[in-house]
Amino acid sequence: MIRKLLLNDRGGKVFLLLLLVISVYVVLSNLLLTPDSLFHVPTYTVTLLGKYLTYALLAVAVDLVWGYLGILSLGHGAFFALGGYAMGMYLMRQIGDRGVYGNPVLPDFMVFLNWQELPWFWYGFDQFWFAALMILLVPGLLAFVFGLLAFRSRVTGVYLSIITQAMTYALLLAFFRNEMGFGGNNGLTDFKEILGFSLQSDNVRIGLFISSAVALALGYLSCRYIVNSKLGRVSVAIRDSEDRVRFMGYRVDYFKLWVFTFSAVLAGIAGALYVPQVGIINPSEFSPINSIEIVIWVAVGGRATLFGAILGALVVNYAKTYFTGAFPEVWLFALGGLFILVTIFAPQGIIGFFKRKKKSHKPEENKPTLHTAEEAS
């Protein structure tokens, strides 16, 4: 099955092989090698790499709708944050009476705000299975309702992008309010454990890293399956000429709706894996700037390739880690400059740039030459 999916996907094969090799090396070097070894990977780096992998999964989700469906979504940061909040609510319920105020039911921020009982929408989040269901259901349901209204109204192009960004901004303002019951400006933090294991444990950090790697691999294969299927072929046709596909008798809004919803679910899973590794989720994750930054990852790597989106996410976020530490005041200028340079000199991203270079350096086929009788003899 996997071999069939990757039959003509050389980049996907290379990516999955590298992901497997790097994951095995990171895990073994962290667990087996001593900290003074040159090849030891510290737990901090493991957590950082796990965060990068969640970003890569988010980039794949955006590339699916932008690269193959032609929808420039500026709202995937919201789906990412909703998945993160669902996981954060579960982690908050696991704190119990170990919080600052010692309340076994109410999180600390609710006690501080003098709340007397747990809001109804927090019920069930003390169970992991319920939280996992909400991680999938909440972003997926929001995307389904939003897409149902937008696609049936035939909102396309820049107008659809503006609406997705407006949705993200509305959620940002809502989650900043203490009355919403999600921690307000400070968000959810001070997590203690997941599934009964301490989040400070090195083994749990390794487990979260492995979970992120597995989720990225499965997310990539799922998107590749969609792209290779009839759904993917129709999606590409919609991207290239939506009116023509509609005139052929296809229900364009149905195709767009299901791909958009699946992409939102992937983004929610990425957010859920992100939160326990960074230890906090707050309304800043809904910021429209974050959604724009995700689009830049995909553009830098190369859209409509899937593995290019992963490369872009890794490159840009590594650069962000370096620049925000060494030159924090110039990071946003560097990000904008990177996007401009890629747009001008590599409009198809890093992957497209190397593909073009490879074609230009391909040797010309040897043309047949005529030999004279003397040369033949």
Residue 369 lies in a domain: no
Q: Flag whether pLDDT at 365 surpasses 70.
A: no
Q: 179 lies in which domain range?
A: 2-360
- With CA atoms as reference, report the closest residue to 60 among 79, 47, 87: 79
Contact 310, 351 (CB under 8 A): no
Distance CA 302, CA 346 (A): 9
Percent over 90 (pLDDT), the chain: 79
User: 151-182: per-residue pLDDT in tens?
Assistant: 999 999 999 999 999 999 999 999 999 999 99
The one-letter amino acid at 288: P
Contact 168, 291 (CB under 8 A): yes
Residue 339 lies in a domain: yes
Neighbours of 101 (CB within 10 A): 12
Mean pLDDT of 211-227: 96
Q: How confident is the model at residue 65 (pLDDT cuts 50, 70, 90)?
A: very high
Q: How confident is the model at residue 363 (pLDDT cuts 50, 70, 90)?
A: low
Contact 232, 226 (CB under 8 A): yes
Residue 302 lies in a domain: yes
Q: Flag whether pLDDT at 368 surpasses 60.
A: no
Mean pLDDT of 90-118: 92
Q: Flag whether pLDDT at 18 surpasses 90.
A: yes
Distance CA 223, CA 64 (A): 7
Q: How confident is the model at residue 339 (pLDDT cuts 50, 70, 90)?
A: confident
- With CA atoms as reference, report the closest residue to 74 among 214, 267, 250, 231: 267
Q: Flag whether pLDDT at 362 surpasses 80.
A: no
Weakest-pLDDT range from 120-124, 253-257, 347-351: 347-351
Distance CA 307, CA 304 (A): 9
Residue 335 lies in a domain: yes
Residue 375 lies in a domain: no
Residue 365 lies in a domain: no
User: Positive or negative CA dihedral for 195, 90, 138, 214?
Assistant: negative
In the block, tokens 């009476």 appear at: 97
Mean pLDDT of 341-348: 82
| pLDDT for res 361 | 66
In the block, tokens 């900043």 appear at: 176
* Number of DSSP helices (H) and strands (E) in the chain, helices first: 16, 4
Q: How confident is the model at residue 333 (pLDDT cuts 50, 70, 90)?
A: confident
Residue 370 lies in a domain: no
Strands (E), the chain: 188-189, 193-194, 197-198, 280-281
Q: How far is CA 243 from CA 235, 249, 355, in A?
A: 12, 10, 31
Weakest-pLDDT range from 50-54, 117-121, 122-126, 326-330: 326-330
Domain count, the chain: 1
Q: Flag whether pLDDT at 12 surpasses 50.
A: yes
User: 255-280: per-residue pLDDT in tens?
Assistant: 999 999 999 999 999 999 999 999 99
Q: Flag whether pLDDT at 374 surpasses 60.
A: no
Structure tokens at 169: 């901004």
Find all residues with CB under 8 Å of 25, minimum gap 6, and list them: 41
Distance CA 47, CA 206 (A): 8
Distance CA 377, CA 374 (A): 5
- Phi and psi angles of residue 102, each rounded to the nearest 5 degrees, phi first: 70, 20
